[in-house]
Amino acid sequence: MNCRDFCEILMEEIRYQSDYRIEVTHRTLKKNNGVIIEALEVSDNDDHLAPSIYVRPYYERFRKGVPLGDVAAGFIRDYFELEESPRPPRGFFGSFEKVAENIYCKLVSFEKNLPMLKEVPYERWLDLAVVYYYQINDEILPDAAIMIKKEHLQMWGVDEEHIRRTAWKNTLRKKKTVFQTLGRTIKEMEQYLLSQGMPELPEINHEERLYILSNRKKLYGAISICYPGEAEKIAELLDNDYFLIPSSIHECLILPNERDYSLDKLSELVREVNRTQLAPQEVLSEHAYFYDRKKKKFFLEIPE
């Protein structure tokens, strides 16, 4: 049984356990890089936006032998937890004034999203693309977002330039850049795990000259490199040229050009991480970039 077929039996079990008070509808969501995700849209007939919950985690539990009834009960519990969080009213997306404050920019692959880019406003950045999205509630569902499409612009009566200015204004104001060493980032992660009762990690000698660029939420933080003057500011801080390693749509690694690094080898590393460590929808690029501080430009090859 595949995930799509599992949706059907899960929906029926959810209806049964809720005495048919909860209505569920199967949705196929198109995500970044052309990834298709199965989800269930849940409605209890109130006046708020119905959340879509990804089915994959429940499917994996079922595949591991958890009875269907227990899986459905867990789904219902998760849904009621979501119900306690504030949700937009139905029809809210029809008003630009109601959504404008939560429209932001994110950076995605141009090549991997060609079909999607035909339907949305975007701007090119090197061989990538800046697109715009509405953030629903990043405290409860971090990636709960609605991609801004051309049809939305027609509905709102605004043009692409207006959306672009709105998204950049919000992004620069609310999604502040975080630029720090990899060692510090891992140390913060260790402190969080300790606060959650996890055992202390063994001492690791982290490379202090490898940096992470993201935002405070570490959500769609790769866009930070596109901020006006950000690339130049990093070069000034490092007092050097540097390599930009796109580790995901959420962050980039910055490596100062202090040794005889090979751009081809770094690009191989990017592809290996994409293949083994990332979900397909989180991949940003298949290669690294080189920033020349004198020319104030990124290159796909190290200039002479």
**Per-residue pLDDT in tens (0 to 9) along the chain, 304 residues:** 899 999 999 999 999 999 988 889 999 999 999 999 999 998 765 556 677 899 999 999 999 999 999 999 999 998 888 777 666 666 778 889 989 999 999 999 999 999 999 999 999 999 999 999 999 864 556 667 899 999 999 999 999 999 999 999 999 999 999 998 876 555 554 454 455 554 443 343 444 578 999 999 899 999 999 999 999 999 999 999 999 999 999 999 999 998 888 899 999 999 999 999 899 999 999 999 999 999 999 998 887 7
In the chain, % helix, strand, coil (3-state, to 5) comes to: 40, 25, 35
What SS3 class is residue 289? strand
The per-residue pLDDT for range 169-219, each reduced to its tens digit, is 999 999 999 998 876 555 554 454 455 554 443 343 444 578 999 999 899
Within 8 A by CB and 6+ apart from 38, the residues are 3, 4, 7, 26, 27, 28, 29, 54, 55, 56, 59
Is 120 inside a domain boundary?
yes
Residues 44 and 122 in one domain: no
What is the share, in percent, of the chain residues with pLDDT greater than 90?
67
Domain boundary among 142, 173, 204: 173
- Is 304 contained in some domain? no
Q: Mind listing the pLDDT tens digit for each residue in 113-125?
A: 999 999 999 999 9
Cα distance between residue 67 and residue 266, in whole Å: 45
Among 136, 153, 173, residue at a domain's last position: 173
Q: Which domain holds residue 159?
A: 92-173
Identify any residues that bridge with 62 across adjacent strands, giving them in sequence order.
Answer: none
Q: Are residues 25 and 101 in the same domain?
A: no
List CB contacts of 21: < 8 A, sequence separation 6 or more. 44
What is the number of structural domains in the chain?
3
User: Based on the domain organization, do 35 and 102 belong to the same domain?
Assistant: no
Q: Model pTM greater than 0.95?
A: no
Same domain, 164 and 212: no
Please identify, among 52, 83, 114, the residue that sits at the C-terminal boundary of a domain.
83
As a whole number of angstroms, the distance between CA 82 and CA 68 comes to: 21
Predicted local confidence at residue 209, as pLDDT: 78
